[in-house]
Amino acid sequence: MPSVEISKLRDQLNHLAGFYAQPDEYTRRLRDLFEKYADNGYRPGTEVNALPSIERYRLPPLVQRHLELDLSTFSRTRPDEALPVIDRLWASAYLEPRLFAAMMLGQIPLRQAENVLERLNAWARPDEQRILLQALLDQGTQRLRREGSDALLEIYDRWLAQNQPERQALGLSALLPLVADPAFENLPPLFAMLFPLVSRAPTALFNDLSAVLTGLARHSPTETVYFLRQVLSSPTGKNTPRLIRRVFPFLSPEQQNSLKAALKLHSE
């Protein structure tokens, strides 16, 4: 692994910033920097390679951190120039540039929300590598979750409404960073979009629905219990009671008893 001199790295990054307005040149020079610090001597040995189809630079952690700081600042302060760079990084054949692209997308100011959502909708595909999909749905939506969740939920609602289990599973995965975020409070529209799927509880989506509901039970148990009682007041699929029981470990005894009573009434 190449040694890293912090002062030299800072000089390289400061010089690189002079090309912000030239996305092709900036990306080319950034790629040169990746290659300079790449660990070309890495050998996986007996380690299981979890990402066989993605080449990696394996940058030193120090380089990784400084790049994250610079690229994050670039995205926040000069979003018009950062967006073309994000596009080029996401198109890379290497892992690290694509992860940086996801991180940068999540730092773009809300005034560019339409451009962020356009990329999120285009890039989030069920067949994408899991690590990249997770980065896109988590890091790539960071500011939208805090500042523009209505627009984000509209996209997710469209995914969940499609009659394609793979796309619906993607939509459910996209909800996980929202329900795990303590600052997220926009729960009513989220419950509304979940209602049809929780009521049916299709087998193909059972585990994905379980992950979202248990996340919601941790995030807001009172509202989650109220939502699940509403579900049980309507006709449901055969898997719904079993799905609802998955949240019991995350509820107080009183909340569990409330749901047990609703389940008993539902089965009569």
Q: Where are the beta strands (DSSP E) in 99-183?
A: none
Q: Which amino acid is at 177?
A: P
Q: Both tokens of residue 9?
A: 């790295």
Report the SS3 class of residue 251: coil
Split at pLDDT 50, 70, 90, the class of 48 is very low
Q: Which amino acid is at 164?
A: Q
pLDDT at site 41: 60
Q: Both tokens of residue 229?
A: 């009682």
pLDDT at site 47: 47
**Average model confidence (pLDDT) for the chain?**
93
Q: Residues 162-182: what's their mean pLDDT?
A: 94
**Cα separation, 26 vs 166, whole angstroms:** 36
pLDDT tens-digit map of 216-262: 999 999 999 999 999 999 999 999 999 999 999 999 999 999 999 99
Report the SS3 class of residue 55: strand
**Cα separation, 142 vs 144, whole angstroms:** 6
pLDDT at site 36: 93
Residue 194 has pLDDT above 50, yes or no: yes
pLDDT tens-digit map of 55-96: 999 999 999 999 999 999 999 999 999 999 999 999 999 999
Q: Which amino acid is at 41?
A: G
Choose among 166, 190, 201, 174: nearest CA to 117.
174
Q: Hey, how many other C-beta atoms are within 10 angstroms of the C-beta on 223?
A: 15
196 contacts: CB under 8 Å, gap ≥ 6: none
pLDDT at site 46: 41
